[in-house]
Amino acid sequence: MTTEPVRSAHAAISLLVSRFFRSLDVREFDEAWAREYFTEDVRERTPVGAAEGRDAVLRHTVEALGSFARTQHIATDVMSEVAQGGAAAVASWNALMTHVHHDGTLFTVGGHFRAELRRTPDGWRFCDTAVEAIWTRGNPPADVGGQAE
């Protein structure tokens, strides 16, 4: 691909990442939300579980974020590599994820996201995502297990 299409794809992918992270905090999850970010066959792996398929990712997201009163997800340093032909890409970014428990205490995670994306007629969509927690502070939800550092 020439430089301009690569820049355009990177800008679109970076915007998708930003919109996705913001949507996690707005919490308006429904089928339209899932279609906005994921392919039908998406795979997701997180420290609190995994899901396959858009409907399963939607359910997993609602359940995982329902453990908290509020959240704030911050993405930075998005790096993307567009495959030859421009129909697929791989992206990664740093993340700071702050979760407010219902009792007001905080659980904060610093980590890395990695995603495979596919260009669809509606734009770029995540088809595979993985979150790696690098550090945590505070207590995770009771049903997750593990100890914070």
Q: Give the pair of three-digit tokens for residue 131.
A: 């979150």
Is the residue at 84 inside a domain?
yes
Query: What residues contact 59, with CB distance under 8 A and at least 6 apart?
Result: 51
Is the residue at 144 inside a domain?
no
Average pLDDT over residues 90-105: 97
| Number of structural domains found in the chain | 1
Provide the CATH number for the domain around residue 19.
3.10.450.50
Asked whether the beta carbons of 86 and 5 are under 8 A apart, the reply is yes
Is the residue at 76 inside a domain?
yes
pLDDT at 142: 77
Check whether 3 has a pLDDT greater than 60.
yes
Is the residue at 72 inside a domain?
yes
Could you list the residue range(s) of the whole structural domain that residue 23 is in? 3-138
| Confidence band, pLDDT 50/70/90 cuts, at residue 31 | very high
pLDDT at 15: 98
Is the residue at 143 inside a domain?
no
Query: Using alpha carbons only, what angle is made at residue 91 by residues 73 and 1, rounded to the nearest 5 degrees?
Result: 145
Quote the mean pLDDT of the chain: 93
